[in-house]
């Protein structure tokens, strides 16, 4: 029987091996598609930085095109960190501000709240990335991790849209571990994860639990197949377990066909074809 | 061929493939056959479904070949005196499709093994597209008796037992086994496979050749790490992870006999022991 204190160790990853597998995934996908490289939106956060870093190692930095896509209320630290990562990786990058396009639409919908505006920003970024991919003969590189995918914590056809996603079978703690292995700047790895859709937003604040906790609970539920009550019996707060189970069920509709690099025996949509209702 | 008739040079061709493109894959087989002949290989082994790719799903009927196909003849002729084992989708006599491995020798196919256990769980869907084989037979080779199994077949240990009881000293296992990784040095999937290949070799006191493919299909990777296990269960040699590679080694089938003289597990095997299935208890 697995005890709570053993879960963290089970989630450890052989980082050099994961790097070798995921760089081969990116190379294979680009070669098979016959395209010249990838485009990736850089938010200054750890997920997009890791995706870009893997692609730079897989293809060479010159074939990885980074795009900074700030809105006027985006945090200046996000842009600073994104530039630092692009510089660190030596990849060509460009900033395109999305405020004019987003504001033009909401001039017609002035009553829209923060959530609708945030979703629109995520989808605006996606349309720009796909357009730049067309222009540059490239694939759009995804940045969604397994924790987000299982919790449905993303904008459908926004940040969860991509042509290939090397991170989709990695829990958030594995993202951090692999990022440290690849030598990403510590300020990018250590800062509080945020979608930066409105000032002061953090993922963990919005979700109501930490990623560390979510990873462990999801691992027990999906990788090991425990029932929610069996997870709670191991010392996890019942309220948190129930919330995680509820999010996973509520947002199943957001999971769409996407090319996930399968690393475990529990890859979403591959090992686990879960019905939507 | 080596001077001693129990000694042979084997080659494990750990290749990638293009899913559903037999023409392209056959061309790649010709390259590796030429490379192996140059290295003096006597018996060359390709992975499971090496001619077609593995995750075919609804492409399966499109790439099926009968045993008499000119594609197989062309490869057999290119092999010259070398024996070749490769994997393909076989269209059987009744139109049933099989996940098969064929031995090519003397310019044509001489033996075919149809996969007996078709995994249909997790990411695997073989039972939807293939018919299961019905026969288990030993494989005649000039150096001694061999057996041929495909991937999942090895997870049902009675097959290896029955082959070795029938005289097999060399068990060839071809595979398209997807990888999974975790904290360990090797992929977790590889740890499982090596536990199986090593215990199969030891319990049956035979050589085991395990040839797995590399490359990606639909987001799932194949790690390679093909290997050779001695009759005592030690790994004699292993190909690298994730890269195409030709692993060449000389093996002596008499090593299997030599171990059996000291460790007579097969000679001691009893088939007369009554078991729980023989008693008149409640049946499932």
Asked if residue B89 lies in contact with residue B99, where contact means CB atoms within 8 angstroms, the answer is yes
Closest to B184 (Cβ–Cβ): which among A14, A21, A29?
A: A14
Per-residue confidence (pLDDT) for residue B6, from 0 to 100: 94
Per-residue confidence (pLDDT) for residue A62, from 0 to 100: 98
Listing DSSP states for B124-181 in one string gives --HHHH-PPP-----EEETTEEEEEEEGGGGGSTHHHHHHHHTT-SEEEEEE------
To test the contact with chain B by mutation, choose from A8, A11, A14, A33 the residue with the greatest count of B C-beta atoms within 10 A, namely: A14
Indicate whether A276 pLDDT > 60: no
Task: Please give the average pLDDT of every successive group of 10 residues along chain B, which has 284 residues.
Answer: 76 96 97 98 98 92 96 98 98 95 97 98 92 95 97 98 97 98 95 98 98 94 98 98 98 97 94 86 60
| Contact assignment for B216 to A25 by CB distance below 8 Å | yes
Tell me the pLDDT of chain A averaged across its residues.
93
ipTM: 0.87
Alpha helices (H) in chain A, listed in sequence order: 4-10, 15-33, 46-59, 76-89, 99-106, 114-136, 146-151, 172-181, 186-190, 203-207, 211-218, 228-232, 238-250
To test the contact with chain A by mutation, choose from B183, B187, B217, B224 the residue with the greatest count of A C-beta atoms within 10 A, namely: B183
Q: What is the pTM of this model?
A: 0.90
Per-residue confidence (pLDDT) for residue B87, from 0 to 100: 98
SS3 state at B108 = strand
The rounded distance, in Å, linking the Cα atoms of B64 and B46 is 17
To test the contact with chain B by mutation, choose from A17, A166, A224 the residue with the greatest count of B C-beta atoms within 10 A, namely: A17
Closest alpha carbon to B173 in B147, B195, B206, B191: B147
| Contact assignment for A262 to B181 by CB distance below 8 Å | no
The pLDDT tens digits for A134-154 are 999 999 999 999 999 999 999
**pLDDT band, very low/low/confident/very high, at A179 (cuts 50, 70, 90):** very high
What is the number of residues in chain A?
277
Q: Which residues fall within 8 angstroms of residue B137, CB to CB, at 6 or more apart?
A: B111, B113
Mean pLDDT over residues A210-232, rounded?
Answer: 95
Residue A262 to chain B, least CA–CA distance (Å): 5
Sign of CA dihedral B36, B37, B42, B47: positive
Residues of B within 8 A of A28 (CB-CB) are 215-216
Residue B215 to chain A, least CA–CA distance (Å): 8
Closest alpha carbon to B76 in B49, B46, B103: B103
Per-residue confidence (pLDDT) for residue B1, from 0 to 100: 43
Indicate whether A274 pLDDT > 70: no
Asked if residue A20 lies in contact with residue A251, where contact means CB atoms within 8 angstroms, the answer is no
- H/E stretch holding B116: none
Per-residue confidence (pLDDT) for residue A273, from 0 to 100: 61
Per-residue confidence (pLDDT) for residue B115, from 0 to 100: 98
| Contact assignment for A271 to B123 by CB distance below 8 Å | yes
Indicate whether A235 pLDDT > 70: yes
A-contacting residues in B 179-218 (Cβ below 8 Å): 179-185, 187-189, 215-216, 218
Per-residue confidence (pLDDT) for residue A22, from 0 to 100: 98
Asked if residue A175 lies in contact with residue A145, where contact means CB atoms within 8 angstroms, the answer is yes
The pLDDT tens digits for A23-72 are 999 999 999 999 999 999 999 999 999 999 999 999 999 999 999 999 99
Indicate whether A207 pLDDT > 80: yes
Mean pLDDT over residues A99-127, rounded?
Answer: 96
Q: Which residues fall within 8 angstroms of residue B159, CB to CB, at 6 or more apart?
A: B116, B136, B149, B153
**A33–chain B Cβ distance below 8 A for any pair:** no
A-contacting residues in B 43-82 (Cβ below 8 Å): none
Burial B165-199 (b: 16+ CB within 10 A, else e): eeebbbbbbbbbbbbbbbeeebbbbbeebbebbbe
CA distances from A267 to A222, A226, B216 (A): 9, 16, 15
SS3 state at B57 = helix
**pLDDT band, very low/low/confident/very high, at A277 (cuts 50, 70, 90):** very low
Per-residue confidence (pLDDT) for residue B3, from 0 to 100: 45
Indicate whether A196 pLDDT > 90: no
- Where on the phi/psi map is residue B167: left (φ > 0), alpha (ψ -120 to 50), or beta? left
């Amino acid at each position: 029987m697995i005890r709570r204190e053993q879960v963290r160790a089970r989630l450890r990853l052989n980082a050099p091996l994961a790097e070798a597998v995921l760089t081969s995934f990116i190379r294979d996908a680009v070669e098979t598609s016959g395209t010249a490289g990838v485009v990736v939106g850089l938010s200054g956060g750890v997920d997009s930085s890791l995706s870009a870093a893997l692609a730079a190692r897989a293809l060479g930095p010159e074939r990885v095109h980074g795009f900074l896509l700030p809105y006027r209320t985006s945090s200046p630290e996000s842009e600073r960190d994104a530039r630092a990562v692009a510089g660190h990786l030596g990849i060509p990058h460009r900033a395109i501000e999305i405020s004019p396009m987003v504001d033009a639409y909401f001039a017609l919908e002035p009553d829209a709240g923060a959530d609708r505006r945030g979703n629109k920003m995520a989808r605006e970024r996606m349309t720009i990335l796909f357009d730049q991919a067309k222009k540059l003969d490239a694939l759009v590189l995804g940045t969604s991790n397994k924790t987000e995918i299982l919790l449905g914590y993303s904008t459908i056809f926004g940040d969860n849209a991509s042509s290939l996603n090397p991170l989709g079978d990695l829990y958030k703690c594995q993202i951090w571990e692999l990022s440290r292995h690849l030598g990403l700047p510590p300020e990018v790895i250590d800062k509080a994860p945020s979608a930066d859709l409105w000032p002061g937003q953090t993922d963990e604040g919005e979700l109501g639990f930490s990623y560390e906790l979510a990873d462990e609970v999801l691992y027990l539920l999906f990788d090991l197949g425990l029932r929610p009550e069996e997870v709670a019996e191991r010392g996890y707060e019942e309220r948190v377990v129930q919330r995680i189970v509820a999010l996973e069920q509520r947002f199943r509709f957001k999971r769409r066909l996407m090319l996930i690099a399968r690393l475990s025996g529990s890859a979403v949509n591959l090992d686990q074809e879960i019905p939507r209702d | 061929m080596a001077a001693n008739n129990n000694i042979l040079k084997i080659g494990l061709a750990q290749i990638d493939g293009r899913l559903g493109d037999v023409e392209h894959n056959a061309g790649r087989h010709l390259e590796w056959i030429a490379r192996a002949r140059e290295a003096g290989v006597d018996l060359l082994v390709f992975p499971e479904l090496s001619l077609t790719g593995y995750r075919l799903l609804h492409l399966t009927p499109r790439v099926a070949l009968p045993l008499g196909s000119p594609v197989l003849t062309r490869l057999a002729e290119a092999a010259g005196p070398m024996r070749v084992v490769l994997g393909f989708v076989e269209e059987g006599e009744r139109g049933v499709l099989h996940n098969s491995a064929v031995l090519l020798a003397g310019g044509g196919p001489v033996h075919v093994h149809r996969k007996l256990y078709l995994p249909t769980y997790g990411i695997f869907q073989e039972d939807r597209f293939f018919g299961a084989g019905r026969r288990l037979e030993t494989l005649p080779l000039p150096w001694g008796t061999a057996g041929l199994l495909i991937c999942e077949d090895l997870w049902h240990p009675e097959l290896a037992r029955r082959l070795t009881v029938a005289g097999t000293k060399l068990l060839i296992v071809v595979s398209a086994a997807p990888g999974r990784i975790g904290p360990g040095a090797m992929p977790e999937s590889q740890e499982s496979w090596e536990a199986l290949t090593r215990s199969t070799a030891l319990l049956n006191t035979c050589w085991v050749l395990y040839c797995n493919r590399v490359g990606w299909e639909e987001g799932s990777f194949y790690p390679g790490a093909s290997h050779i296990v001695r009759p005592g269960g030690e790994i004699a040699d292993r190909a690298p992870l994730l890269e195409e590679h030709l692993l060449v080694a000389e093996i002596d089938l008499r090593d299997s006999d030599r171990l059996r003289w000291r460790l007579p597990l097969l000679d001691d095997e009893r088939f007369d022991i009554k078991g729980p299935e023989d008693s008149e208890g409640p049946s499932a």
